[in-house]
Structure 1
């Protein structure tokens, strides 16, 4: 394979750049991004070839390129090839974890790529390949499974006169040619096509390539035929939603969504999906609750794909002058995020907001859930944008992108939403902020001590020092900060009554990881019951972050103790820190509501 050809310079014309900056991007724009990605893959491959001797595998790939250049291009542009290239180059520079494959297995994956190219090009060859826990995955083709007990060993792939076999440890597996069908010991990689002619999505359902999961590789786990059929049906129905409600996105997605990696279902309303800038066109996604959730996931991850392609052409941020990390609140995460990560999230969740904006007005889909999701994500996206849209590190393109998305968000915020769903969205958005603050913000210790002295001395208000900016200290225990929103989704889906009896609240909370009984009551609209439950929780566990945040929502919803509600909504970390210090100093816990009301008074 020739790595000497001059690669083109890639530029995005103003119109195509404007599409991406606005969060959109049609087929022509995605074709330009794919062309740039191809050049990037070739450069990475050349860098690998310059670093290690790729030997006979390089020779075979070169032969395949001469005989069937489209085959090699298809392999080169497969998302998992990009992921492997980046992983291999990093592996040459960094110390790998003990449970990672040995470096010779990592680099030997190139031989599996070359073998796949040789098979698809119809060449005769024999090539040594790695065997991973008895499996030999061949990218874009499938996986051979052999009775080999060693975790890491070698085997071979041989093709002669239209017949191909994989051999290792004295066993052999015949590879069906063409290799799209199953056979003894052979699991084919399924290609799924959904949608009508001319608007069809053609995607690989990848369950065997080690580099199909991001950011760390995992060993092949072939799906059952029943699981494949289920995913096919889900994808068919999700694609119908996208074609009807997001036709521009669907048109671009047809050009650049190349593989979908299915993973196991997760807790209801809590799907997991991942993309990587190194794996352009690939999406990893957990089994969804329903086709609409899958459609949202595809839109979400496609946003990341587009932004990743743009970032390979131009930066959105200038380099940081300070080596200390700069942390930000991301309304869709449990943890503080660096600036670059927050920009990724803003772009992705602007896409999700756009999806729900269209979905909630589509025929027969005007459900409370759709209105709630739209109201929630427009609010969260706006919150994130307001934090950073004038950040000094933004490049010209980065600034244009955030300003354009800010203008779109303003349009969304102006759209009317039914009162109940709007109020629930505000409640959940405020709750997430409060939980995040309690976990990750630490008021200055001297100010907390001063507040303790003032409280004990009977001062009318806390000291002004407590208003100083809190320090962000990432708390690794912060998880499931979306518990209230998840419970609200149960309610809006029709699974819960509006008001729950006490035992019903306990059962509702138990099915949502991280949820408290007070959360279930608050989600059901019982603010008084929620207040009692949160105060009971704080009496037993005064440091429980979720109870402090939930108490804020209960007070705000119930309309009682407005000063305490305001303080707990805006600065719950202050109440928790001072409460903890008072308990430590006096051995007696103050009343949380009374303390919050005092802390919410104008400072002395």
Structure 2
């Protein structure tokens, strides 16, 4: 394969850079990012060739490039190719997880890429490709299913004239002339085209390429025809939403959204989606609840795609200093995040704020829900940005980007939102923050020990040392911190359900939710308080119960000092409560303890 001896220098003109800094970016900006990605892929391919012998695969893809360079470009720029390249290079350098296929299977994927390019270019050839658990994937085309019992083996791909076959274990699978057609033993990569002709989105619905899942590869899992039809219908509806409400974003997606990897549905209101900087243009997404949710997912992951492309051309951060990484609160995550991850989230959720800002104005929207989502995500983004917008590691471009997004967010925060939706959004944002603190903010052991002694000595108040800033220590048990928010969404979708099903049944349907959470989401603060106290009768009750108890106390207006302490610093109550239980074998009354901790230091 020919790699240009002198690759172009990539430059983002000021007007295109300004678009991306605003979290936007039209087709012209996407073309520039795609140009940078192409050069990066060529460099990675050269690095791989320099690191190992690609042999016949290199020769075959070079022949395909000479005959049909556009075809090879399409294979090279396929998102899964980028994922494979970085995975293979990390594997060669000992930086990839040990689990997974043998190295020869990983590197042999180059032969599968070459075979796919040669088939599309119309070449005659013979080459061996890896077989993974009976499936031989050919990127961008599909995969052959072979009757082998070996987890890892090889098959021969042979093309002559109009005939092409995959052979292994004494069996032969014919590849249809139109490789996008299904045939015995052949599962094609489906190509979806949705929308009117001039505003059409075309992408691959990829369920067979092993590198379609991020960040780790998985084996092919072809969809049924019925499931594929359902995805097509949902994508058509989501694209219609984007064309009407986000036309500029849709125009850019036509250039930069290349593949969609379907995964099974999760819980309602908890979609799962992933993208990767190494797989520009690829999105992995769970089956959505509805078209609006899929539209939001595409906006979210496309923001990641754009920022990933920008980061390959210009850094937002200087090199990290030596030592442990600083960790920050990301309102959309369960775990503390380094600044690199927080910036990714900020950029992605700016797109989501923009989506809900427009969607709430449409007749198709559920008004209360749409206003709630807009108010919630603008609050989350603002909270995240305030932590790092003047961070010392930001480059001039990084500073410009955050300051620009901060100004936009300030304008959004000033926009009116109906009282009910605004109150619920503020309630959920504060609750997520408190649950995160209950898990990850850790007062010093010395301050906790001093507080335990003061409590046992009946001191008038806690030690001043407990007011020192806590350390951020990741708690691996922190999961489902969005439980109350999910329950609020259930309430907005079906306000009568609490009387019909009861709080225990509702909470059981939302992973990680406590009974008190369901009661609180439906506004029954006294009952929620009782439920949270029942959870905290032992020394190691759920961390989320401390945050929920604070919310319920604040709503009832009882014990204001305890409510204030638990809403702002639930980690103090949790740490001292657990230490007292360990020291005495008895769990103190949570409200009385929180009231004491919230009093002025002794």
Fold conserved (TM > 0.5)? yes
Picking from 562, 565, 568, the partner of 1:567 is 565
Match of 2:577 in 1: 579
Match of 1:401 in 2: 401
Is 1:273 the counterpart of 2:309? The answer is no
- SS class of match (2:198): coil
Q: After superposition, what is the alpha-carbon deviation per residue over 1:229-251, rounded to whole angstroms, capped at 9, x for unaligned?
A: 00000000000110111111000
Alpha carbons 1:499, 1:526 under 8 Å: kept: no
- SS class of match (2:478): coil
Alpha carbons 1:371, 1:421 under 8 Å: kept: yes
Match of 1:347 in 2: 347
Match of 2:467 in 1: 467
Q: After superposition, what is the alpha-carbon deviation per residue over 1:386-430, rounded to whole angstroms, capped at 9, x for unaligned?
A: 111010000001111111111111111111111111111111111
Alpha carbons 1:331, 1:432 under 8 Å: kept: yes
Measure, in 1, the Cα distance between the counterparts of 2:2 and 2:583. 73
- SS class of match (2:172): strand
CA 584–359 in structure 1, closer or farther in 2 if over 3 Å, else same: same
- SS class of match (2:536): helix
> Structure 2-normalised TM-score?
0.98
Match of 2:183 in 1: 183
Q: After superposition, what is the alpha-carbon deviation per residue over 1:540-583, rounded to whole angstroms, capped at 9, x for unaligned?
A: 46431011111011112222222111111111000111112222
Alpha carbons 1:203, 1:260 under 8 Å: kept: yes
Measure, in 1, the Cα distance between the counterparts of 2:550 and 2:586. 22
Measure, in 2, the Cα distance between the counterparts of 1:559 and 1:500. 24
Is 1:109 the counterpart of 2:102? The answer is no
Q: After superposition, what is the alpha-carbon deviation per residue over 1:311-368, rounded to whole angstroms, capped at 9, x for unaligned?
A: 0001111111122121111100001111100110011111111111111111231521
Measure, in 2, the Cα distance between the counterparts of 1:412 and 1:166. 56
Alpha carbons 1:356, 1:374 under 8 Å: kept: yes
- SS class of match (2:502): helix
Q: After superposition, what is the alpha-carbon deviation per residue over 1:284-307, rounded to whole angstroms, capped at 9, x for unaligned?
A: 000000000000000000000000
Picking from 591, 594, 597, the partner of 1:593 is 591
| CA RMSD across the alignment | 1.2
Measure, in 2, the Cα distance between the counterparts of 1:179 and 1:585. 70
> Structure 1-normalised TM-score?
0.98
Q: Which runs of 5+ in 1 are unaligned?
A: none
Alpha carbons 2:539, 2:586 under 8 Å: kept: no
Match of 2:481 in 1: 481
CA 96–23 in structure 1, closer or farther in 2 if over 3 Å, else same: closer
- Bigger mean CA deviation after superposition, 584-593 or 336-345: 584-593
Match of 2:28 in 1: 28
Q: Which runs of 5+ in 2 are unaligned?
A: none
- SS class of match (2:165): strand
- Bigger mean CA deviation after superposition, 93-102 or 176-185: 93-102
Match of 1:424 in 2: 424
Aligned positions, number: 602
Alpha carbons 1:205, 1:259 under 8 Å: kept: yes
CA 97–40 in structure 1, closer or farther in 2 if over 3 Å, else same: closer
Matches within 5 A, 1:81-120: 81-94=81-94, 97=97, 99-120=99-120
Measure, in 2, the Cα distance between the counterparts of 1:47 and 1:96. 16
- How far the C-alpha of 1:499 sits from its partner, in A, is 5.3
